[in-house]
Structure 1
Amino acid sequence: MTPLLPLVAAVFLAGYVLLPLLGVPYAGPLAIVLACATLFTGRRRAGLTLAGLGLARPAPGHTALAAGLALVIGYVAAGVAVLLATQALGWPPPRPGRLAELLPGNLPALLGMLAIAWTTAAFGEELLFRGFLQPRLRTWFGGGRGAALAAVLVQALLFGLAHAYQGRTGMLVSGSIGLGFGLLYLRQRTLWPLVVAHALIDTVGLVTLFLRAPATGTL
């Protein structure tokens, strides 16, 4: 395991756990920003390029097709997870948290959350979990096919735990999407299709909440 991995993980966990205790708003996105900044700084000092994180210059045609595949994988994984959780295990649906109160009919809130969805959520989470964590775990596990699959499973588990605020079903859904995306990244070795698919999935969810406006039509 490279020294940069525990450093980035420590920065992310510190922000994720401590910032809410200090009353800092948007602690989750801020923790992702801090972790990404630590990652970029560390790699720059080591003379490493962004291509090693799956951020090589994208090919538009390939990116569009792969993003479509990732979108299908994401929705299938989420659908299976929801059915398993709610029908087989009897768990409640995912919790949207404060978004259920803030977003319905509130256009400024929607635009703000979309900005977060396309930056810290889509780009930041894919970078940290798939582009950075997954290959480092594979190396730590010894390399090879078995190590690659173990790395995919572990990053998906951690990705699900990072969405604990959505409840048990939300964690299972996020972890399932992370599993599908991890397998796709293992094959494609590029993050851009996953970033696009992640952003589109979040966008659909946010717009759906926004359209649940109060009956009075007030914002």
Structure 2
Amino acid sequence: MLIQSLAILAIASLLVVYQILKDRTQFPKFVALETSQERRDYFRTSVLDSAFRYGVLGVVGLYVLGELSGLIAFPAIFEPGRALTFAWLTPNPDQLYLFGYGLAGIVFILFTIITILPFYMKAEDLPQDGVMAMLARNWKEAKWSTLLSINAGVSEEIFFRLMLPLAAFHLTGNILISFGIAALYFGIAHAYQGIGGIIVTGVLGLLFTLIYVLTAQLWLVILIHILVDLRGLILLPWALGILNTGETEAPSD
């Protein structure tokens, strides 16, 4: 399994490098797009590209590692490290899920607060480059933003929160290092957001990881990831008045 895991990490590294290089050339072009049709074409391509790169290849990686069951059950290979790492919380690993759901509850409260804040802000208060360009400007774009959010939540969590840590664990035998590597890759893969975006995404990755390992529920971090992205790509522009609900443009989809 060492060779397979090493190959997976090598491929993951190449994918992240590809993502960075692609974003350096393609994202500035996207920012400069003027028509909604062109923006929707970019969103469509991004959904398909990401679904294959992280979703399909993530599942293939799980198959190679013999861990497809991880999609529905917490991998048994992580259990000893999970119990040891969080022994300071409780000597009974069967109770760790309580702390995980508690943390998820805190995240939900904070998420609700930062969801309300944009209604009291102006678009001018936010940076006008980077991720701002991704915000939906009309309901046609919002449909693709929804698909982007769902795809990111499912595909990226399978790849970065499950498959990649499993491959790293087969090489390191350390659960902290394994999930740390995956969180680092997760942050770097969002380089188009700039240094600040990489840091924020990396921190979010660590938070998602903590919730996943404590609750042992992949579906929960997938859901949280989707909600975070929906908040940023659709609710935020709506609250700021960027999302034009009266869009009359009707080019073919």
Q: What is the identity, as a one-letter code, of the residue corresponding to 1:117? A: S
In structure 2, do the counterparts of structure 1 residues 136 and 74 end up closer, same or farther at CA, with 3 Å as the change threshold? farther
Q: How far did residue 182 of structure 1 move?
A: 1.3
In structure 2, do the counterparts of structure 1 residues 153 and 95 end up closer, same or farther at CA, with 3 Å as the change threshold? same
- Tell me, yes or no, if the aligned pair for 1:11 and 1:34 is still in contact at 8 Å: no
Q: Aligned residue for 1:60?
A: none
Q: Aligned residue for 1:125?
A: 156
Q: Aligned residue for 1:191?
A: 218
Q: What is the identity, as a one-letter code, of the residue corresponding to 1:98? A: A
TM-score normalised by structure 2 residue count: 0.59
Note the aligned Cα RMSD (angstroms). Answer: 3.8
CA–CA separation in structure 1 for the residues paired with 2:102 and 2:150: 16
Q: Aligned residue for 2:106?
A: 72
Q: What is the identity, as a one-letter code, of the residue corresponding to 1:70? A: A
The answer to which of 13-22 and 176-185 deviates more is 13-22
CA–CA separation in structure 2 for the residues paired with 1:215 and 1:5: 39
CA–CA separation in structure 2 for the residues paired with 1:218 and 1:154: 45
CA–CA separation in structure 1 for the residues paired with 2:166 and 2:215: 13
* Larger Rg belongs to: 2
TM-score normalised by structure 1 residue count: 0.67
Q: Which runs of 5+ in 1 are unaligned?
A: 58-62, 80-91
Mapped pair 1:32 → 2:50: yes
DSSP 3-state at the match of 2:241: coil
Mapping of residues 1-219 of structure 1, within 5 Å: 1=2, 2=5, 3-7=7-11, 9-11=13-15, 13-14=17-18, 17-18=21-22, 25-26=42-43, 28-35=46-53, 36-41=55-60, 43-44=62-63, 46=64, 48=66, 50-52=68-70, 54-56=71-73, 69-70=103-104, 72-73=106-107, 95-100=130-135, 103-104=136-137, 106-119=138-151, 121-141=152-172, 143=173, 147-205=174-232, 206-213=234-241, 219=247
Q: Aligned residue for 2:123?
A: none
- Tell me, yes or no, if the aligned pair for 2:166 and 2:178 is still in contact at 8 Å: yes
Q: Which runs of 5+ in 2 are unaligned?
A: 30-40, 75-96, 114-125, 248-253
Q: How far did residue 123 of structure 1 move?
A: 0.4
CA–CA separation in structure 2 for the residues paired with 1:215 and 1:186: 36
CA–CA separation in structure 2 for the residues paired with 1:30 and 1:71: 32
- Tell me, yes or no, if the aligned pair for 1:71 and 1:201 is still in contact at 8 Å: no
- Tell me, yes or no, if the aligned pair for 2:212 and 2:218 is still in contact at 8 Å: yes
The answer to which of 173-182 and 24-33 deviates more is 24-33
In structure 2, do the counterparts of structure 1 residues 28 and 68 end up closer, same or farther at CA, with 3 Å as the change threshold? farther
CA–CA separation in structure 1 for the residues paired with 2:208 and 2:235: 23
- Tell me, yes or no, if the aligned pair for 1:5 and 1:136 is still in contact at 8 Å: yes
CA–CA separation in structure 1 for the residues paired with 2:200 and 2:178: 18
CA–CA separation in structure 2 for the residues paired with 1:11 and 1:157: 14
DSSP 3-state at the match of 2:240: coil
Q: Aligned residue for 2:90?
A: none
* Identity across the alignment (%): 23
Q: What is the identity, as a one-letter code, of the residue corresponding to 2:133? A: R
User: How many residue pairs were aligned?
Assistant: 190
